[in-house]
Structure 1
Amino acid sequence: MKLTNVTAAGAALAFLLSTAAMPAFAETTDKRIALSNNYAGNSWRQAMLTSWETVTGKAVADGVVAAADAFTTAENQVTEQAAQIQNLILQGYDAIVINAASPEGLNGAVKEACDAGVVVVSFDGIVTEPCAWRIAVDFKQMGKIQVEYLAERVPDGGNLLEIRGLAGVFVDDEISSGIHQGVAENSQFSIAGSVHGDWAQDVAQKAVAGILPSLSDIKGVVTQGGDGYGAAQAFKAAGRDMPIIIMGNRYDELSWWKEQKDANGYQTMSVSIAPGVSTLAFWVAQQILDGKEVPKDLTVPFLSISQETLEESLKTTQEGGVANVEYSQEEAQDVVSGAM
């Protein structure tokens, strides 16, 4: 009888240990998660959506969740995205992952979702509504380090051209704030001009071409990503000396940099948030639905490429895409554990 009890106890213990080692997604097999994306008009957003589809598609196929559908509004319109979120609530989604058009403008719709029992996780373009979760990089620091890099390269300073992102979006404001803080701390530099490139090389090229005739010698171009190659083309077309242009991890930027490096030793750096942060947001939503405790604010590192790592990074970046990192469920759990 004692032997039987020991055997039963051992079997129970073995079962508990085996289930403890398994990924905790049994409670979310019938859950539906939606992505509400405010904009898709550049290579970073396309890569972000591709990462989402790749990782969530496998999660659905594996039975981790029942659905993980992506929805994109036409052109960064707050009212349209708010209506989209309200529609997703009515469709019965259990969680909504948001790349937001505005940090405050969507708070009403987000609160409606929370009040309806929907988990809301914002990333990249985050929301300030307290009931939502937020995943972001230190965008202000991402702007500041560009100026710090230029201070090392050009100790005497000079004029800088700032290329901003999409007007009114949290990311744009934060990176620009960091750039201006960097200039304030390195007074040998001054912002000679500023344009919006919408994180797209064609928009940036046109904007830079339009402002160049009014600018004197430019020593450096501080950017937000997706605009470096367009800026280079504008300077080339205008017959201007090529400044140090900070790149944003896009394939066209890295390819141009590599060509210039091989031809004349051109040196710069590249920095951006990895598009695969959308997959971290997905797993965070899944973990919350599974009853896990997750801090309301998570910070992830930005992805930086140096003169030394350029070739390696270019090899692993898809043509037309962006240097990237995608998250597994285990990696997302590690991020959460680290934040706890």
Structure 2
Amino acid sequence: MIKRISKLVTLLVAFGLVFAFSVGSFAQEPPVVGISTGSSGTSWRNIMIAALEEVGNEYKAAGKIADYKIVNNITNGDATEQANILRDFISQGVDIIMVNPNSPDALNGVISEAQDEGILVIAYDATVTAPNVLNVTLDHYAWNTKNAEYICSTLQKGNAIQIYGLDGHPANNDRIRATDDVLKKYPDIKLIANTTGGWDQTKAKEVATQIIGSGQQIDAVFTQDGMAFGVLSAFLDANKLPKVMFGDPGTAFFKEWKKLRDQGADFKACAQPNPPGIGGTAFRMALQLYNGKNFKTGILVDNTYFYKVGMFITDDNFDEGWELLKDQPDDFLLSEIMPEDQVAELFE
């Protein structure tokens, strides 16, 4: 009981809701962590899971956690199934739940159930609207605004297609909104196709092949994590090229990009990592909160920590990205996990 009260007070203090209790007066036991990934099976997701395992194994070996358990959805992107996974975690008595949410609000009910049991809940990679939950994510709107602005400012006039991620996923929703808003400033660019690729390379290639097969002129491609190589492959198979597109920050795409650059092709791209290691970063923050630490003033925006991506690669600085990728396997994507000491600096 004391353990549960301690965790609940930790949660409330972390968000500035309780000031009259001293968390240090309770004895904290090493927590059990339940992690719901929401979906799996893509290169990005596999790297994300590896990052969670890296931090989980590090903490378990050091005795900082008792154990952790990662559960993937059987049906990728399904919020109802994910809610059931979270309920299983509650019934198993975990102390921390980390969730990569498949919906911004469909999980709010089960999150409330977890919090009623004194469980600390952290959302990572995307956000939830439930109160008193730390969200650890990119600003996906700002992230894709930068991509879309580069594509539109480069093209200026022509036809574009968008092959986006999982329907309904909060990160995907923000990115689509960013594309829409940027396109409003470029009336001479027409979006002629707008469909899901499910953040899956194979599906994205199939979708792109169908659109290309329609015979319409395609000058630009808006896409997202782990799909650009599939889309570019569809164009190459058809002996066609867009003039500009978003590219995967990974080895396979960069190899093809380099070939096109060496050939002097009329082709430009931009690539911006969305680090799969965000899950590992969130894991570190979760443990800080569980152990009673508070974020410093000004770090969070509406209970959200926005991870800042420093790298943005275009033809102008292509060599910078190529140096990081040229010796890596084809399915490698640029990623990072915030080091423990840097995470600790965010807390009082």
What TM-score, normalized to structure 2? 0.84
* Counterpart check, 1:325 vs 2:336: yes
Question: Residue 104 of structure 2 aligns with which residue?
Answer: 103
Deviations 1:2-21 (A, max 9, x none): xxxxxxxxxxxxxxxxxxxx
Question: Residue 300 of structure 1 aligns with which residue?
Answer: 307
| SS state at 1:211 partner | helix
Sequence identity (%): 24
Deviates more, 1:319-328 or 1:309-318: 309-318
Task: Give unpaired runs (5+ residues) of structure 1.
Answer: 1-23
C-alpha distance in structure 2 between counterparts of 1:171 and 1:290, whole Å: 29
| SS state at 1:39 partner | coil
Q: 1:321 corresponds to which letter in structure 2?
A: F
> Cα distance, 1:227 vs. partner?
1.2
C-alpha distance in structure 2 between counterparts of 1:30 and 1:137, whole Å: 29
| SS state at 1:174 partner | helix
Question: Residue 162 of structure 2 aligns with which residue?
Answer: 162
Task: Give unpaired runs (5+ residues) of structure 2.
Answer: 1-23
| SS state at 1:185 partner | coil
* CA RMSD after TM alignment: 2.2
Question: Residue 69 of structure 1 aligns with which residue?
Answer: 69
C-alpha distance in structure 1 between counterparts of 2:111 and 2:327, whole Å: 37
C-alpha distance in structure 1 between counterparts of 2:334 and 2:28, whole Å: 31
What TM-score, normalized to structure 1? 0.86
> Cα distance, 1:331 vs. partner?
1.9
C-alpha distance in structure 2 between counterparts of 1:249 and 1:288, whole Å: 32
C-alpha distance in structure 1 between counterparts of 2:53 and 2:46, whole Å: 11
CA contact (8 A) 1:199 1:225 kept: yes
Q: How many residues align?
A: 312
Deviations 1:228-271 (A, max 9, x none): 11111111222333432211323322222223223336431112
Change (3 A) 1:28 1:200: farther
**Superposition pairs of residues 7-156 of structure 1, within 5 angstroms:** 30-75=30-75, 76-155=77-156
C-alpha distance in structure 2 between counterparts of 1:241 and 1:132, whole Å: 44
Q: Which has the larger radius of gyration?
A: 1
> Cα distance, 1:136 vs. partner?
1.5
Question: Residue 6 of structure 1 aligns with which residue?
Answer: none
Deviations 1:67-124 (A, max 9, x none): 1221111122211111110110111111111001111111111110111100000011
C-alpha distance in structure 2 between counterparts of 1:147 and 1:291, whole Å: 40
Q: 1:312 corresponds to which letter in structure 2?
A: E
CA contact (8 A) 2:251 2:326 kept: no
Change (3 A) 1:315 1:236: closer
C-alpha distance in structure 2 between counterparts of 1:43 and 1:28, whole Å: 36
